[in-house]
Structures are given as structure tokens and as C-alpha cells.
A and B are shown apart, each in its own frame.
Chain A
Amino acid sequence: MSTEGGLLLAAAVLLPFVGMLIGMLAGGRMAQRIAFVVMPLGLAVAVGIASAWLDGSGPVVYLLGGWSPPLGIALRADGVAVAMMLAVAGVVTGIGVFALADFGTPKGGAESRAAFSYWLLLLAVWGALNLVFVSGDLFTLYVALELLTFAAVPLVCLTGSGETLRAALRYLLFALTGSLLYLLGAVLVFGAYGTLDIAQLAQRVQPEIASWTALALMTAGLLAKTALFPLHIWLPPAHAGAPAAASALLSGLVIKGSWFLVVRLWFDAMPGVVTWPSAQLLGALGAGAILFGNAIALRQARLKLLVAYSTVAQIGYLFLMFPLAFDAAAGRIAGGLALSGGIMQAISHATAKSAMFMAAGTIYSALGHDRVADFAGLARALPLTVFAFGLGGIALVGLPPAGGFVAKWWLLSAAASSGQWWWALVLMAGGLLTAAYVFIVVTRALRAPGAPLVIAPVARLSEMAALGLALVSVLLGLLAVFDMRGLIAGRPSMGA
């Protein structure tokens, strides 16, 4: 049955897409204006869904057309979905404000094609992400995943240069391969169990050859789209080549979509199929990402590439929660402190990484380059931006009251209680490596320059937007003071 507030779920998905369609038809400066109308509305809808979930006792459900699964499609929002939707709404708003500097059209001016596309794609990414969070069955998730990819790929080549087009093409082909693997897995699941609805699958799935093959295929396909080591080839050129506002979107939000799908699959659809070795393998790939990505980031001479490789490393953190959530006694994966830690890590990374990319973009437009070795004198010239970058770095390293600290505390507690001390070592080493390159960049900026630094003027608005998101990421942990139901308790999410 549809619950109270269920219609808001459909609204959360439809609103950005309707805005995008109207913007595409209207043209001119309308795309930008419509985006700024949709943003507060979308925030309001997300808050509405959150309050509906807080009032109710289970997930918020909406049955499209009144048809129930397996014939119909159900949209479900549980604690993790609500948290992610709120975070995405907030970050999109912040990025939108920042993008006014790069892609805003002045009064009376003609809107460039890049600006027009950007606002439409921003809305499309938002809508696709909302669909990922609330979908209740595997096929709708496939459609949402493809929507997300189609919206993200043009963002990579927004500038139209040859390098970015190549990067976009590689991204697209690799992502499409991943989607087909995912689809193959979904097909096998349907063949074996007759339904694709997640709640129903949770009850029907048995550990057997069909479900193992399907889970392996789907997981691998999703890992390709999430750019987990060693499948991260497309990410650094794509994220570093895109304009700053687009990189913030790609690194901060788009990655979380396919990651969230892995969470749904492993925790909600097939918890009984997941085994200890497979969870450890996922964690091992995550550890590889953390160590490899951070090490390569340390060797980068350009800031945007440094931040992109830092994203490769931070994605690894998101996958450490899987082995930590595995309850060895019960022999199955269970939500709890590790799940909460992972979600908090995702939200914290979304805000902090967006802020860092925005700061990097401001630096690039001010200096005309982003070579770290030539940053001397930047702290005096662009104090707010360097401060925002430093704050974002602090949030990633994990200092209270940042969300990254709360996530680290929860993950470390899960490691302590399950005795998996090796993941604790990886977490701690990762934090130190992240601090290393943040320190390098910030101290380069603090050095006194040989000759006075010449910078182009930058919009105050973009500096403030970056600073605002960075402050949010640093203060996110204050939310942990309020005991967050559903996240901490890890309530059964998709149980009907």
C-alpha cells in the first residue's frame, strides 16, 4: 500500500525532469531561471519526504498506478534514501549557486550552448539520482542508472575540446559495458526468482549458482561505473577535464548513484547471498583504491588531477563498510554502525569534494593554470578559496565536528567490535595520506611569492559558495549529536 506522503516520492523524481523539459523547450535564459525555481522546490520536497518518514514507522512507499509488485513498480524511501536525498538536494543547490559565475548568463546576453546544457544536465542528474534512491525494483534501478550516465557524460565534454571528448567517449563506453553486465545479472535474477522487486527478492533469494552469478555480474558492472580500483581508468581524465562546476557534480554526486546501488543490492536485495570472502574482496578493492589513489594523488603536479585522484581514493572508503558490516556470527551482512558510517562518509565526501573542486576551479580561473608548484602567494590573493580548500581537506581527513570524523568513528567502532583490525589500519593510513597532499597544497599557497601574484578577478559568489559547502562539510558531524533514527539503528529498510 502507498503510505502517507508517498506522492512526494514521485514528485521528487518528476520535478527535476519536468523542469529540464520545460527548460529545453523554452530556451534562452529560461534554463537557468527554471533551475533556480526547481532547486528550492526540490529541497522542500526532500524535507517533506524526511518528515513523512520521521512520522511513519517504516519506509515511505508509493505504488505507481496503484499496481503492486511484481506487476507494478513501487517507490520506497527508507532512512538511508532519505538521508541521501537531503544531502543531494543541498549539494545541488550549492553547486548551482557556484555555477552562476561560470555558466550564468548576464541580463540581455545570449546564453551560450554550454551554459544552456549545463543547467539542463544539472536537473537531469538530480532527477536521476532521486530515482536511484527511491526505486524499489532492479529494473527501475537500471533505467535510473542509465539516465544518470546519459546526464553525466555530456557534463564531461562541456568545453568541447578534443581531450574531453575522448574522456567522455571512454567514460560512456566503459559505463555502458558496466550497465550491460548489470542488466545480465538482473535478467538472471528474474529468470530464477520471477520478480525484480527488492522487498520480494529479499524473501525469495537463495544462495545458489543463479544468485551468485547474478550478484557477481551486477556488482562488477556497478563497480565499473563507480570507478573503484582497478576499474578507475576513466575517472581522472574525465573529472579533471570538465569545468569546475561539472567536476563538482560528477565527483560529488554522480559517483554516489552507482555506489548506492551496490548498497541496495548487498544489504537489501540479497543479504543472504553475500559471503565473508566476497565482502572481504570488496573491502580489499576499496583498500587498494585508498592506498593507490592517495599515492598517485601525491605525485600530481596539477590541482584538478590531484583532486580527481583523491576522489579515486575516497571511493575506496565507501566500500570499506561492506566487510565491516558483515556479521560473522550470523553469517550474513547486516545494517548497523558500519552502514551508518558508510552513508555518513558518502554525504561528507559529497560536500567536501564538491567544495574542493569548486575551490580548484576558482583558482584555475584566477591564475590561468593549476600547477601546484606555482601557487606561492595564493593564500594572500584568494584567502577565502584557499580556506575553503583547507576546510574541505580537513573534513576529508576527519577532524571533529566534520562528518568525516563521525563516519571514521563509526567505521572504527565497527572494526573494533568485529575484530577486523586490518580495515582500521587502512582507514588510519588513508587519513594520513589525505592530510599529506592537503598540507602540500595549502603550504604552497601560504609561501611568499618571488614576484607579486597577478590574478584575474573572480566572482565573490563562487568563493562564498565553495566556502559555504566546505563549512557544511566541517559542521556535518554536529548532526550526530541528534540521535539519527534509522541511520544508527539501521532499521530494516526494504521490508514491506
Chain B
Amino acid sequence: MDRSLLLASVLALPLAMLAACLWAPWRARILDLLPIAPLPGIAAALLAVGAPPLRLGYGAWAPVLALDLVGAILLGAAALLWALAALYARIYLRGDGDAGRFGVAWLMTLTGCLGAFVAADMITLYLLLGLLTLGACGLVIHDRTPAAWRGGGMYLALALIGETCALMGFVLLAAASPVDGLLIRDAVQALPGSPTRDLTLALLVVGLGLKAGLVPLHMWMPLAHAAAPVPASAVLSGAVVKVGIIGLMRFLPLDSAMPDWGQALAAVGLFTALYGVAIGITQSHPKAVLAYSSVSQMGVIVAVLGMGWSVGDASAAVSAAFYASHHVLVKGMLFLAVGLVAATAAPRLLWPLLAVAAVLGLGLGGLPLTGGALAKYAVKGPLGDGLAGTLGKVSAAGTTLLVLHFVHRLRSFASQQPGAVAPAGLWWPWCLLALASFVVPWALYLSVPGGTVGDMLAPSVLWAALLPMLAGVAAAVALQFSGARLPQVPLGDLVRVIDAAVWRCVAAGPALMRADTLLLHWPVAVLLLLATVLGFGMMLFGGHR
């Protein structure tokens, strides 16, 4: 089969399922059919890497689909998460009257997410981003609690602002490209030499960084991810934020060395990494803790990209993609674990659950022999040995602290009904996901030439991984026993700034209405008409002097 057609099926199958949702009988059974939608994505990630780009149509505005190595890594991990989370959602949402609406929102988000990994031209990517935003908003507001409305509204507002900035960046990018076309790759090649380079880069970083959750544009993430139903949070935190990452990887000219931009980006990333940990340990709801952990991990990934960019090393993107793919699977597994714990009280089930979650979660901090250790090993190179490398180790320690805090909060989240057991249909997707989060990074690592198990067992590597973890454990123990009260930071921290700004705008409303009433008076209107005549007359006269 032509491998390029496989790329088209990544989008075609979810879109077809979405269109079929117009029929009520289909919508009634949608939950059972959701796991099928990402399957072409898995196939494409395995088979279609480096296939010739697929052009759908003629002319400069035709959509183009292509898959490079970085996209394939992320696509495979994300598609796997989507499939397993859908199996989980099948049981989790059983009996929910609004399951049809959930399925529609799920499919929209899935199309946008997986499609973004294969989109090769700007317009298609922008369309998929829009679809993604609308679908994700639908997922967040599903439960229709006040927190859900707030999370969905904040998410939509910030996502639109980000997309607007990104659109302006795309327009500038296309304008500066000598090739008449909207292919991302061609336009980015012309970017370093463009006269509007700095403005374009700023707009792209703001727009795509907002989707990835860089501070200070991250405040929607905790609100949205904590308010969504558990399987939706898993895919939102696991897969959807990676769309911002893939955008940064594709739109930044990583192969041309730009030290000032690269180091600035790395600084923002490392600040985000530490900030996420700092706020995360003040939160009490496990989903909120996980959301801030996502913020922190995205910061690490962006820092890796930044360091690679500053020296023009494009292979940093591959390392970052590997790291991100591990995060996709582990974060999804942790979110699903929250749902399991909330429905389980029996200790014989609870303790193994917590233990597995803890071990694999500590992989985010770099626990040796987990996929996380491989990921940390891969990004050690681009981060280097200087300040960035040190801060990277500090962030690993912080992540360890955060994961331990999460497990602690998770334990108190367990069901209060004695003997409660979660349905089997929730257990086995979670187990598969936990297994995948261990196996997949190893499989990726071993398929790269030169990667061996022996490398990872070398004492220096083990010690380098353990040191930050021990520091994190020590910090956790110290915090627990010192009894120090951590400050109460509201969910979404900086979102208070936005709230204040919104209230100020709303307060200006009555003044506007009074102005409008004034304009409604007839004499005022006709006098304004005459003033318009004079105005134009003066502008025409003056312009010709």
C-alpha cells in the first residue's frame, strides 16, 4: 500500500467517524467505537516515516501531509495513548447521558491532535489547531460544573489569543518566503534571512508556546486539565500539549545557530520547569498536581530545544521528541490512575496500584532503568554541562519531589466506601498503558544504532541519575517532617491577573452604553455626518500638499 495514503487515513478515519456522528444511532454507540479512531495513527507512525509528502489538491493552498522522524515518534506515542484512554473512557463514561456529545468532542480533539503531527503546510495546521481547541473545550466543559465552565472559557480565550499570534506569525513567515507556497519546511528555511525575523519568531514562540504551556502563558492548563473528566485529562495533558511542542519543533529554525534566541528560549523553559514544581507542591488535588507537573515537563522539553537551537543542533529535536513521548505515556497513565484510585478502597488493590504509579511516575524524575532514565540520558547532551545542565538536574530533583507529593495526595483520594473495586474495564487499559510506558521508550532506544542496555547500566550513568532523585527524596522527607505550611496558591495562580483585567473591561461597559445612547440623538448624528465630510475633505486636501 502506498505509504503516503496511510498519512491521509490518519485524518480521514476520525473525520469520517465525526461526520457519521450526525446519525443518532451512531452517536449512541460512539463510546465503543472511539478506540478505533487512532489506529491509523499508530500504523502511520510505524510504517510511514519519511514517506513522500501527500498533496491533496492543486495550487498553492492545497493541504500537504508529511511525516518526519520527530513527528513519527510523537504520533506513535500519542496515538497509543488515545487508543488506551478511549478503552478506559468506554467504561468510565458508561451510563452518562451526554456520551454522544463527549464522543464528538473527543473525535474533534483527536483529529486536531494527530493531524497536527502530520500537517506539513500552515493552513492545514491552523485549521487543525482550531478544531483541536474547539474539541478540547468541549471535553473540558463536559461535566458542566462551575469549575468546568471556568476552565473551558479560560482555555478557549487563551487558546484563541495564541492562535491569533501564531496566525500573524504564519502570515509573516509566508510573506518572507521566496517560494510561493505555504509549506512549513520551505518557509522556515527562509526565516533566518528574513527582514521581519525577530517579530515572526516572537509571534510564533508566543502562539505555539501558549499551546505548550510556557510560563506566563500556562495558567489555562491547571484549570482545564483539572476540570475535565479523567480520560479527557489524560489525553489533554498527555497528547494535546505536545501539539505545541511539535509546532515549536517545526517552526523554529533549529538548524541555524541563534545563540540569543536559543538561550532565551532555554531560560524560559527552565524557569517554567522550576515554576511548575514550585506551584505544584502547594496543590492538594492530585489532578492539579499532575497538571503542574505537565507544565514543568513541557518547560524541560522547550529548554532542550532552546539549547539545541543556540548552537544550531537539529538533533536536539529528536532527543526532545523522545523525552516527550515518554511523558505522553507516563502522564496519561498517572491521570488514569487517579480515576482508578477514586473508585478503589480495597488495600490489596490499592497498594500495588500506588506502587506501580509511584515507580513509573518517578521515571519522570529519572529513576534508573525506567523509560524516564533513558529520556533523561537522551537530553543530557543538548542541555550540556553548564548552567542549563545544572538546572536540568535541579528540575529532576524537583520532579521527584512533585511525584512523591502526588502519590501522597493520591493515597488520600482513595474511595471511602469499604470494599469498593473499580470495574475490570478500567483496570486492563491502565495496565497496558503502564506496560507501554516502560516498554516503548526501551524499544525506541534500542532501535537507535549504538544504544544498548549495557550503556544504561554503567555506574556513572546510574549515579548521575540517582543523585538528583535522592536530593528530591530528601527534600520530600524534610518537608513532611518539618511540618512547614506551604502557601495556599489558588488553582491557576496567575489567572487572577486575567480576572482582574476582565473585570476592569466589564466595568467600562456602562460608559460605552452611555456613549452609544449619545450617538443615537438625531442632531448629533447629522452633525457627525457633516463632520465626516469635513474630515475627509481635510484629509484629501492635506495629503496632497
Task: Give me the interface of A with B, judged by CB distance under 8 Å.
Answer: 170, 174, 177-178, 181, 207, 209, 212-213, 215-217, 219-221, 223-224, 230-233, 273-278, 280-281, 285, 292, 295-296, 298-299, 399-401, 405, 408-409, 412-413, 416-417, 424, 428, 431-432, 435-436, 439, 443, 446-448, 480-483
Contact = CB atoms under 8 A, between A and B. Distances in A.
B540 interface: yes
Contacts of B174: 413
Given A275-B544, A296-B513, A412 B519 contact: no
Interface in B112-147: 123-124, 126-127, 130, 141, 144
Given A174-B526, A216-B540, A431-B160, 4 more contacts: A170-B522, A220-B530, A413-B174, A443-B152
Contacts, number: 136
Nearest to B56: A481
Given A273-B540, A276-B543, A299-B509, A233 B533 contact: no
A215 B543 CA distance: 14
B384 interface: no
Contacts of B533: 181, 216-217, 220
Interface stretch (B165-173, B244-252, B319-327, B441-449): B165-173
A277 B542 contact: yes
Interface of B: 57-62, 123-124, 126-127, 130, 141, 144, 149, 152-153, 156-157, 160-161, 164-165, 167-168, 171-172, 174-175, 196, 509, 512-513, 516, 519-520, 522, 525-526, 528-530, 532-537, 539-544
A416 B175 CA distance: 7
A309 to B, nearest CB: 9
From DSSP, what is the main secondary structure of chain B's interface residues?
helix
23 contacts: A177-B529, A207-B544, A216-B537, A220-B536, A223-B532, A230-B525, A231-B529, A233-B525, A274-B540, A275-B540, A275-B543, A277-B539, A277-B542, A278-B540, A299-B509, A400-B123, A409-B171, A413-B174, A424-B168, A431-B160, A432-B157, A439-B153, A448-B144
Contacts of B522: 170, 233
Contacts of B528: 230-231
Contacts of B539: 275, 277-278, 280-281
Contacts of B509: 295, 298-299
B496 to A, nearest CB: 20
Nearest to A398: B167
A400 B161 CA distance: 16
Contact of B519 (A177, A233, A280): A233
A400 B544 contact: no
A212 B529 contact: no
Contacts of B156: 435, 439
A278 B149 contact: no
Contacts of A295: 509, 512
A292 B529 contact: no
Contact of A231 (B157, B167, B532): B532
Contacts of B124: 400
A285 B152 CA distance: 34
B61 A412 contact: no
Nearest to B133: A399
A183 B435 CA distance: 80
A274 B168 CA distance: 28
B171 A435 contact: no
B172 A416 contact: yes
A413 B533 CA distance: 31
Nearest to A184: B533
Contacts of A400: 123-124, 126-127, 130
A232 B536 CA distance: 18
A363 to B, nearest CB: 20
Contacts of A412: 167-168, 171
A424 B196 CA distance: 15
B543 A431 contact: no
A435 B130 CA distance: 12
Contacts of A178: 529
A428 B164 contact: yes
Contacts of A482: 59
Nearest to A408: B167
A238 to B, nearest CB: 12
A181 B168 contact: no
B144 A277 contact: no
Q: Which of A177, A223, A416 has the most CB of B within 10 A?
A: A416
Contacts of B540: 207, 212, 215-216, 273-275, 277-278
Contacts of B513: 296, 299
Contacts of B520: 233
Contact of A278 (B60, B168, B534, B543): B543
Contacts of A446: 141
A219 B529 contact: no
Contacts of A409: 123, 167, 171
Contacts of A212: 537, 540-541, 544
Contact of A181 (B144, B165, B167, B529): B529
A435 B164 CA distance: 12
A435 B513 CA distance: 21
Nearest to A299: B509
A165 B407 CA distance: 69
Q: Which of B153, B156, B526, B539 has the most CB of A within 10 A?
A: B539
Contacts of B512: 292, 295-296, 299
A382 to B, nearest CB: 15
A177 B152 CA distance: 48
Nearest to A272: B544
Given A216-B536, A277-B543, A299-B513, A413 B171 contact: yes
Interchain residue pairs A-B with the least CB separation, the first 7? A275-B543, A278-B539, A216-B536, A216-B537, A277-B539, A400-B127, A212-B540
B174 to A, nearest CB: 7
A481 B127 contact: no
A207 B543 CA distance: 10
B519 A230 contact: yes
A480 B167 CA distance: 18
A177 B527 CA distance: 12
Given A413-B175, A416-B196, A281 B535 contact: yes
A212 B544 CA distance: 10
A446 B104 CA distance: 14
Contacts of A280: 539
Nearest to A219: B536
Contact of B130 (A209, A399, A480): A399
A425 B160 CA distance: 14
A295 B514 CA distance: 13
A432 B57 contact: no
Nearest to A446: B141
Contact of A481 (B57, B160, B161, B544): B57
Nearest to A224: B529
Contacts of A217: 533
